[in-house]
């Protein structure tokens, strides 16, 4: 009797080949990752160079948040915007396409060359040439990173919501609930359309058709999909735990048992560098295996007859072993060098002299942007206070952060819609300490008088009323009190700082920046006040090379403090002043092992 033939999906269910059998692919995976990331870097570098060239053609060295209006009002601005979006979109889509093709190459033993996979990855972008393709690009480039969707949807890790925006969202209950609802919705959409890229790259259909097919596929198989992925992630976490135990846990135990005296530097450095190496290796190989799992599920659900799944032949491990060997030679060499204390301090930096700036007068020490806040900062011993100045309807100046008084005073009016007399009737509560008394909105003069000779003020020229008149008026108030050396003018409006430098060169200036393209160090200011994620090592080094200091805003967490108080930045702006001092003192006394552990957290 003739044996009944089974469909591809039935065969797939029976031949559920474990991914552990693909461990022999590790050398090839490493090679593919290195080459694809190098190709991605080269292509995005060219795009960034083009964008910088366009910036230079405007007779400026940089493009920052001050220039955002130019994005939509000039041809060059639109070109810069287009190139910026292209860089992000290309990076995300190219990487995902390449991973799908690499996984397919391993599973079916197609033995394609790397250059063929790179070429096919780029050619697969043609299926995005449909209005629906814009939705796909927007999701994988911008939305997926925010939803923490890691099932192969996006590998764009650098897109984020800046902390100052998140702080605003989290401070408003309605916005916070809306934010989490939107994140959940986008996460669910990510799961529903998770095979969109697979249908485009493997199925070779346009984005619209791919989205429809993914929806139909997940509608039928979502329960099995979730089950399969949970099992996969569980096994993966188990493997990672075992690897970390062997390569990190045991060396830590050895350190405690046998490392003494001069050898302690060697051991803690070896443990730290090995942990970083192992962590990086896990990260490099995990994504391809994750995509192999997704590819298998895609073929199973879509009944794609792409050939029998094959266990690969034993790979040529020469280059793999050579890479691992050279890495460990470097780790041992650096560990040996770390026995010299100065080298150890370079590898694992300890705390550095840093300036603490209390945000909105006194941070969480008192009512924000008030005399009470400034006096609390002075009493606590904080060297600097940041305040926000705005102009009232009758041309006076008050210290207030928000555009309206709604959040703090339950009055939905802007500062410039009320007179000083009307504003003085309002009460600013203490949002940090339950039961603490409210106080009145402070004027510029009141804050200056409270601060004179006691604390340095960073005065932000704020909101719609920040103009050249404000520069002149605030300077006049400062000059009348002889406080030119006790204040710094800061703003997100760079032209106002240029005017300050030109007309009042004795006043130091700081530019508040959260977007930058080009050479930001060319700006004519004393300080760069950078949003946390923007303040990279390269930008800080570039600023220092031309004599500028870099302050980071707004750092309110323990991890953020530890990072910024040990890197090369010059200080932090924070609401959590007490935490800043606690972390600073702890860093000054931390053990060598603790320094290594903190370094690992930030590097990995």
The predicted structure's pLDDT at residue 140 = 81
Q: How confident is the model at residue 78 (pLDDT cuts 50, 70, 90)?
A: confident
The predicted structure's pLDDT at residue 111 = 75
Query: In 3D, which of 539, 512, 510 has the Cα closest to residue 527?
Result: 510
Report residue 320 as tokens: 């793999």
Calculate mean pLDDT across residues 90-100. Answer: 81
**Helices 207-244 and 173-192, axial angle in degrees (round to 10):** 100
The predicted structure's pLDDT at residue 385 = 97
Residue 409 has pLDDT above 80, yes or no: yes
- Kind and range of the H or E run holding 324: helix 318-337
The predicted structure's pLDDT at residue 154 = 36
Buried b (16+ CB within 10 A) or exposed e, 431-450: ebeeeeeebbbbbbebbbeb
The predicted structure's pLDDT at residue 10 = 42
Report residue 348 as tokens: 């694992």
- Between CA 386 and CA 168 the distance in angstroms is 17
Could you tell me whether strands 404-405 and 397-399 are parallel, antiparallel, or unpaired per DSSP bridges? unpaired
Residue 60 has pLDDT above 70, yes or no: no
- Torsion-angle region of 59 (φ positive above 0: left; ψ -120 to 50: alpha; else: beta): left
Q: What letter would DSSP give residue 67? A: G
Residue 570 has pLDDT above 70, yes or no: yes
Q: How confident is the model at residue 426 (pLDDT cuts 50, 70, 90)?
A: very high
Residue 9 has pLDDT above 60, yes or no: no
Q: Are 473 and 413 in contact (CB under 8 A)?
A: no
Whole-angstrom Cα Rg for the chain: 28
Q: Tell me the whole-structure pTM to 2 decimals.
A: 0.75
Q: Are 381 and 595 in contact (CB under 8 A)?
A: no
If one compares 6 and 411, the residue with the highest pLDDT of the two is 411
Q: How many CB atoms lie within 10 A of CB 572?
A: 26
Q: How confident is the model at residue 150 (pLDDT cuts 50, 70, 90)?
A: very low
- Between CA 599 and CA 587 the distance in angstroms is 12
DSSP symbols for 231-291:
HHHHHHHHHHHHHHIIIIIHHHHHHHHH--TTHHHHHHHHHHHHHHHHHHHHHHHHHHHHH
What's the Cα-to-Cα distance from 360 to each of 140, 269, 453, 577, rounded to whole Å?
37, 41, 19, 11
Indicate the SS3 state at residue 370: coil
The predicted structure's pLDDT at residue 165 = 72
- Between CA 142 and CA 135 the distance in angstroms is 10
Q: How confident is the model at residue 103 (pLDDT cuts 50, 70, 90)?
A: confident
Q: Which of 156-165, 170-179, 572-581 has the lowest mean pLDDT?
A: 156-165
Q: Which of 138-142, 145-149, 236-240, 429-433 has the lowest mean pLDDT?
A: 145-149
If one compares 451 and 251, the residue with the highest pLDDT of the two is 451
- Tokens 């190098």, residue? 38
Q: Which residues contact 335 (CB under 8 A, 6 or more apart)?
A: 266, 267, 269, 270, 273
Report residue 335 as tokens: 């560990």
What's the Cα-to-Cα distance from 3 to each of 6, 13, 390, rounded to whole Å?
9, 18, 84
Q: What letter would DSSP give residue 576? A: -
The predicted structure's pLDDT at residue 62 = 61
Residue 585 has pLDDT above 80, yes or no: yes
Mean pLDDT highest for which of 66-70, 384-388, 550-554, 579-583?
384-388
- Between CA 67 and CA 515 the distance in angstroms is 9
Mean pLDDT highest for which of 10-24, 317-331, 422-436?
422-436
Q: What letter would DSSP give residue 399? A: E
Residue 554 has pLDDT above 70, yes or no: yes
Q: How confident is the model at residue 420 (pLDDT cuts 50, 70, 90)?
A: very high
Average of per-residue pLDDT values in the chain = 82
What tens digit of pLDDT does each residue of 296-337 get? 889 888 865 544 544 455 555 666 677 778 888 888 888 888
Q: Are 160 and 89 in contact (CB under 8 A)?
A: no
Q: How confident is the model at residue 195 (pLDDT cuts 50, 70, 90)?
A: very high
Calculate mean pLDDT across residues 565-578. Answer: 90
If one compares 184 and 74, the residue with the highest pLDDT of the two is 184
Vertex 194: Cα angle to 190 and 199 (nearest 5): 145
Q: How confident is the model at residue 260 (pLDDT cuts 50, 70, 90)?
A: low
What tens digit of pLDDT does each residue of 489-546 get? 999 999 999 999 999 999 999 999 887 767 788 889 999 999 888 888 888 999 999 9
Residue 460 has pLDDT above 90, yes or no: yes
- Between CA 44 and CA 158 the distance in angstroms is 14
The predicted structure's pLDDT at residue 96 = 85
Buried b (16+ CB within 10 A) or exposed e, 82-104: ebbeebbbbbbbbbbbbbbbbbb
The predicted structure's pLDDT at residue 207 = 92
Calculate mean pLDDT across residues 14-33. Answer: 62
The predicted structure's pLDDT at residue 269 = 85
The predicted structure's pLDDT at residue 58 = 61
Cα 99 to the chain's mean position, in Å?
Answer: 23
């Amino acid at each position: 009797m003739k044996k009944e033939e089974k469909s591809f999906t039935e065969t797939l269910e029976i031949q559920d080949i474990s991914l552990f059998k693909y461990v022999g692919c590790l050398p090839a995976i490493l090679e593919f990752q290195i080459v694809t990331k190098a190709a991605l870097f080269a292509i995005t570098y060219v795009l960034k160079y083009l964008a910088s060239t366009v910036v230079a053609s405007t007779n400026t060295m940089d493009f920052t948040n001050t220039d955002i209006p130019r994005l939509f009002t000039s041809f060059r601005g639109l070109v810069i915007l287009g190139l910026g979006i292209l860089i992000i979109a290309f990076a995300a889509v190219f990487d995902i396409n390449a991973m799908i093709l690499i996984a397919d190459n391993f599973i079916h033993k197609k033995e394609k060359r790397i250059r063929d996979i790179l070429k096919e990855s780029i050619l697969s972008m043609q299926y995005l040439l449909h209005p629906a393709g814009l939705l796909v690009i927007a999701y994988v480039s911008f939305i997926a990173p925010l939803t923490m969707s890691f099932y192969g949807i996006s590998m764009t890790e650098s897109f984020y919501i800046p902390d100052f925006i998140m702080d605003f969202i989290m401070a408003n209950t309605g916005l916070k609930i809306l934010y989490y609802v939107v994140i959940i919705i986008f996460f669910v959409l990510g799961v529903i359309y998770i095979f969109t890229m697979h249908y485009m790259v493997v199925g070779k259909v346009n984005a619209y058709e791919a989205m429809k097919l993914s929806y139909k596929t997940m509608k039928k198989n979502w329960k099995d999909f979730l089950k399969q992925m949970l099992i996969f992630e569980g096994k993966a976490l188990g493997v990672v735990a075992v690897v970390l135990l062997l390569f990190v846990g045991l060396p830590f135990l050895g350190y405690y048992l046998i490392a003494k005296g001069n050898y302690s530097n060697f051991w803690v450095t070896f443990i730290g560098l090995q942990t970083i190496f192992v962590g990086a290796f896990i990260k490099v190989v995990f994504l391809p295996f994750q995509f192999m799992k997704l590819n298998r599920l895609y073929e199973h659900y879509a009944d794609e007859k792409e050939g029998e799944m094959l266990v690969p032949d034993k790979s040529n491990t020469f280059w793999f072993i050579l890479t691992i060997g050279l890495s460990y030679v470097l780790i041992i060499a650096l560990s040996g060098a770390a026995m010299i204390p100065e080298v150890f301090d370079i590898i694992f930096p300890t705390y550095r002299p840093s300036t603490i700036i209390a945000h909105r007068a006194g941070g969480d020490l008192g009512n924000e942007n008030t005399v009470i806040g400034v006096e609390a900062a002075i009493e606590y011993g904080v060297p600097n206070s940041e305040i926000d100045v705005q102009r009232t309807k009758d041309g006076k100046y008050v210290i207030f952060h928000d555009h309206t008084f709604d959040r703090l005073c339950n009055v939905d009016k802007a500062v410039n819609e009320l007179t000083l007399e009307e504003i003085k009737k309002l009460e600013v509560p203490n949002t940090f300490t339950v039961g603490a008394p409210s106080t009145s909105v402070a004027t510029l003069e009141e804050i200056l008088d409270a601060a004179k000779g006691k604390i340095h003020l960073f005065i932000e020229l704020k909101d719609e009323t920040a103009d050249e008149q404000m520069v002149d008026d605030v300077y006049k108030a400062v000059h009348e009190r002889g406080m030119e050396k006790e204040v710094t003018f800061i703003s997100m409006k760079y032209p106002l700082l240029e005017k300050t430098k030109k007309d009042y060169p004795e006043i130091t200036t700081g530019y508040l920046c959260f977007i930058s393209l080009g050479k930001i160090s060319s700006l004519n200011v004393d300080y760069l006040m950078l949003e946390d994620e923007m303040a990279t090592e390269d930008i800080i080094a570039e600023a220092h090379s031309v004599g500028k200091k870099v302050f980071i805003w707004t750092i309110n967490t323990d991890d953020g403090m530890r990072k910024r108080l040990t890197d090369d930045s010059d200080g932090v702006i924070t609401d959590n002043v007490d935490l800043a001092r606690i972390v600073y003192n702890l860093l000054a006394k931390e053990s060598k092992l603790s320094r290594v552990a903190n370094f690992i957290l930030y590097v990995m």
